[in-house]
Structure 1
Amino acid sequence: MTVPTLPGFTEQLVKASDGVRLHVAVGGSGTPVVLLHGFPQTHLMWRHVAADLAADHTVICPDLRGYGASDKPVDTDGTVYAKRAMAADVVAVARALGHERFALAGHDRGALVAVRAGLDHPGAVTHLAALDVLPTLDTWEVLRGRSASIAFHLYLMAQPPGVAEALIAGAPDAFFGYFLDLWAHDPAAVPADVRAAYLDACRAAVPSIVADYRASAAVDVEHDDADRAAGAVLRMPVAVLQQDWGPELSADAATRWRAWAPDLVHTRVTCGHFMAEESPETVVGALRALLAR
């Protein structure tokens, strides 16, 4: 099966931070917008949104370190996949492509990287959008009791190195495919060729994907804790799109986000987790409204 691409976009490997290279698709012209994918996806998740934004923006769609066709360095000390390191990648790639300042949107894991980029590099990020996630620290605070069962993978991949990698590598398509099926309200939104590309990419990246999640149960929490204690917030305009996760998880989501982002527009959407693929017109509208703020 032919690996799908973003029509009209060029693909290249761009040097990021710590010698890591990110696979990046770039298209369009105008003020820059960087789009960061989530789990278990690659930059292909932005194919509809990127095509629209490229009409009047330079759109940059990287595969995060450890994902897709980007480099997958070995996590030697628990910090290689910290969102701080992944955020530094994004800033370095944008600069390598000639952009000191850019708007940034992320979905799921990519949203966590985007938030860290906004906190660590406020002079670089002009606008920030987060799709269907809570900040790392808040995620762990919200999960409790039976509601935590929907995030069993967070707890699995938080374990010390070894067991999660072995279990997932034993049946990678079943593991990653489970989330593609569970989280999509409209299965047709992820066509067969794109689904195959996601599974191929994940199958080749089990250790780095686990390391990304493990970091979010350890060093990422430490960084968020330090920022909360220091009163750090996102100073740029922020837009959050969130599906209805149910009363136990969604009740105070907007309040939690506003504690991090005073200039916030929080919107509840009626689609599944993969909203950029299931309802791209909703995402495009929200991003264009954000860019106009």
Structure 2
Amino acid sequence: MTQREPRIEGFSYRRVPVTDGGVHLHAAVGGDPAATPVVLLHGFPQTHLMWRHVAADLAADHHVICPDLRGYGASDKPAEAADGLTYAKRTMAADVVALARALGHERFALAGHDRGALVAIRAGLDHPDTVTHLLSLDVLPTLDMWDVMRGTTAAVGFHLYLMAQPPGLPERMISADPDAFFGHFLDLWAAAPDAVPAEVRAAYLRACREAVPSIVADYRASAFADVEHDTADRRAGNVLRMPVTVLQQDWGAALGFDAAELWRRWAPDLAHRTVSCGHFMAEEAPKEVTAALRELLAREPGQ
């Protein structure tokens, strides 16, 4: 008998076409469609389920949309094209804008964790009149991420370098024991061991096991196409014009950089604070994340 996947309680599920080429995103949708829309983007090695606590709270007074990103979960996983753009954050951000539009929203607030935060940043840069507010959980913008990874401290990001390699080797290595690879990060990055219950962990591992090539392609894009796009924005002086809130572990202090200062170069209208939980903060500290998101949504530009 096929095992039923965990779901966000009270949410409906649908597959929504987001490109002319037929790519569909799988999304959990809850709350009043006429209410203020909020799109929540998951990180690695997770799916939309990471937002289950936050989404259920927000749905009381918002229209909440939680997709699996392109290449993850139950969303489509197109083969990586030779130009490296299939999983560029620009492409994935366009998916999210198309998803929200298909669900009736021309403008929306956007929150992202980890990989989803990188997609959210790109959406904010490429679609400033569409993204009204932006919340980032525990990530640096791509250019800064690569810049701070140096010396022996870069060992914590070994997976970034592994998955940046040309197609073939990283996929074969990870596919040899995907549960060990992806489970390593679920164990290492969580400060609260019970934050990800067994059935959700199993769902994450199943989803990753079935998506090794597309997950690697997502990371590979961050070493090439995403760097090119971010570099062009930096040179052009393009910044995030909407109110931005960043919640981050204090790993900037451990690695010798000021995360808030790096973020301020991209987000002049910034609220930045560190948190005491682990990387999976929407699951480890959902009340804190929800409160920060509600505070962000109440901000007007420049406040």
Contact 1:237 1:290 in 2 (8 A): yes
C-alpha contact 2:71 2:211 (8 A) present in aligned 1:
yes
Deviation at 1:248, TM superposition (A): 4.2
Q: How does 1:123-202 map to 2 (within 5 A)?
A: 123-202=129-208
SS in 2 for 1:187: coil
The one-letter amino acid paired with 1:207 is P
Cα distance in 1, alignment partners of residues 88 and 43 from structure 2: 15
Distance 2:258 2:276 in 1: 18
Distance 1:130 1:179 in 2: 19
Shift of 1:3: 1.5
CA distance in 1, matches of 2:259, 2:252: 11
- The equivalent residue for 1:33 is 38
The 1:54–1:250 alpha-carbon spacing in structure 2 relative to 1, beyond 3 Å, is: farther
Assess if the C-alpha contact under 8 Å between 1:127 and 1:237 holds in 2. Answer: yes
Question: 1:259 aligns to what?
Answer: 265
Match for 2:136: what amino acid? Answer: A
- The equivalent residue for 1:48 is 53
Task: Give the count of matched residue pairs.
Answer: 293
For residues 150 and 113 of structure 2, the distance between their equivalents in structure 1, rounded to whole angstroms, comes to 23
In structure 2, the CA distance between the partners of 1:234 and 1:281, relative to structure 1 (3 Å rule), is: same
Q: Is the 8 A contact 2:252 2:258 kept in 1?
A: no
Which amino acid counterpart does residue 181 of structure 2 have in structure 1?
Answer: F
Equivalent residue, structure 2, for 1:23: 26
RMSD (Å), alpha carbons: 0.8
Which of the numbers 84, 88, 105 marks the counterpart of 2:90? Answer: 84
Counterpart contact for 1:147–1:248, Cα < 8 Å: no
**Secondary structure at the counterpart of residue 251 of structure 2:** coil
1:107 aligns with 2:113: yes
Q: Determine the C-alpha separation between the residues in 2 that align with 1:135 and 1:178.
A: 24
Give the Cα–Cα distance (whole angstroms) in 1 for the partners of residues 254 and 283 of structure 2.
26
Q: CA deviation at 1:247?
A: 2.2
* TM-fit CA distance, 1:2: 3.3
Is 1:287 matched up with 2:290? Answer: no
What is the SS of the residue equivalent to 1:35? Answer: strand
Q: Summarize deviations over 1:55-114 as a string: whole Å, max 9, x none.
A: 000000000000000000000121100000000000000000000000000000000000
CA contact (8 A) 1:11 1:25 kept: yes
In structure 2, the CA distance between the partners of 1:28 and 1:250, relative to structure 1 (3 Å rule), is farther
Task: In structure 2, list runs of 5 or more residues that go unmatched.
Answer: none
Find the counterpart in structure 2 of residue 205 from structure 1. 211
Matches of 1:237 and 1:89, distance apart in 2: 22
Post-superposition offset of 1:146:
1.0
User: Residues 169 and 202 of structure 1: is their aligned pair in 2 closer, same or farther, counting only changes over 3 Å?
Assistant: same
- Aligned-residue identity in percent: 74
CA distance in 1, matches of 2:44, 2:255: 19
3-state SS, counterpart of residue 272 of structure 1: coil
TM superposition shift of 1:246: 5.2
5+ long unaligned stretches in structure 1? none
Aligned twin of 1:4: 6
2:22 partner letter: G
- 1:73 equivalent in structure 2: 78
* Contact 2:135 2:246 (8 Å CA) reproduced: yes
Show the counterpart of 1:98.
104
- Partner-residue secondary structure (3-state), 2:194: helix
8 A contact 1:244–1:250 mirrored in 2: no
Deviation, 1:284, is: 0.4
How far apart in 2 are the matches of 1:138 and 1:211?
20
Name the residue aligned to 1:217: 223
- What is the SS of the residue equivalent to 1:126? strand
1:120-140 deviations in Å (ceiling 9; x for gaps): 001110000100000001000
The 3-state SS of whatever aligns with 1:188 is: coil
- Structure-2 separation of matches of 1:19 and 1:102: 23
Specify the code of the residue in structure 2 equivalent to 1:57. Answer: H
